[in-house]
């Protein structure tokens, strides 16, 4: 298991990683969100010994914390992961798995780059420039959580407060777009 935090807040990531023995990587530039078309977290992929993606982007949970919102039973998801780890049993056939993740749109792709510019400006102390680019990125990809929600803590907005419901309502109205598969 390799965990990638789409995040630049290392203390916040560390706080959730007590006792973890597998690698936890810090993706401040959201490179993995660009390379794998990841639009929300958690997103899980199963990759075999020969670099084949045998289960593509999957909205899979480690616990039932969000079960009320998602309706997802995390134990059933973990059973699929355990079965694959144990004897290679796959949740989806290779034919079904192929092509289920839509490529990023031009706007979603650009939003990732503009987000990267904003994050750099913020780190460099240009809060006005950062805000200008966070707004531009969010306008390009309003329903992409790795852009819009990830920008909140960097803009001093509490991602678990009222701002969450605002994004969540729009996301539902847009039909819950996700680059990948959902469900048990």
Chain centroid to CA 122: 21
Residue 163 C-beta: closest distance to other proteins, Å: 10
Helix (H) or strand (E) holding 25: strand 24-26
Residue 76 C-beta: closest distance to other proteins, Å: 16
Distance CA 79, CA 87 (A): 12
Nearer to other proteins by C-beta: 10 or 174?
10
Residue 175 C-beta: closest distance to other proteins, Å: 20
Nearer to other proteins by C-beta: 3 or 72?
3
10 Å CB burial of residue 25 (0-12, 13-18, 19+) is exposed
Nearer to other proteins by C-beta: 63 or 175?
63
Nearer to other proteins by C-beta: 47 or 174?
47
Residue 68 C-beta: closest distance to other proteins, Å: 19
Residue linked to tokens 């958690």: 42
Residue 43 · residue 181 · CB < 8 Å: no
């Amino acid at each position: 298991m390799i965990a990638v935090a789409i995040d630049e807040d290392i203390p916040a990531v560390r706080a959730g990683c007590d006792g973890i023995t597998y690698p936890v990587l810090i993706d401040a530039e959201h490179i993995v969100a660009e390379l794998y078309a990841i639009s929300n977290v958690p997103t899980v992929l199963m990759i075999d010994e020969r670099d084949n993606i045998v289960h593509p982007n999957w909205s899979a949970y480690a616990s039932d914390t969000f079960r009320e919102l998602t309706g997802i039973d995390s134990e059933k998801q973990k059973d699929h992961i355990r079965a694959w780890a144990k004897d290679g049993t796959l949740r989806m056939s290779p034919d079904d798995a192929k092509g289920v993740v839509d490529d990023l749109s031009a706007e979603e792709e650009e939003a990732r780059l503009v987000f990267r510019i904003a994050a750099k400006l913020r780190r460099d102390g240009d809060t006005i420039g950062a805000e200008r680019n966070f707004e531009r990125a969010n306008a390009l990809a309003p329903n992409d959580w790795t852009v819009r929600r990830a920008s909140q803590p960097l803009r001093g907005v509490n991602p678990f407060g009222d701002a969450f419901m605002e994004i969540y309502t729009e996301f539902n109205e847009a039909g819950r777009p996700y680059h990948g598969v959902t469900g048990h």
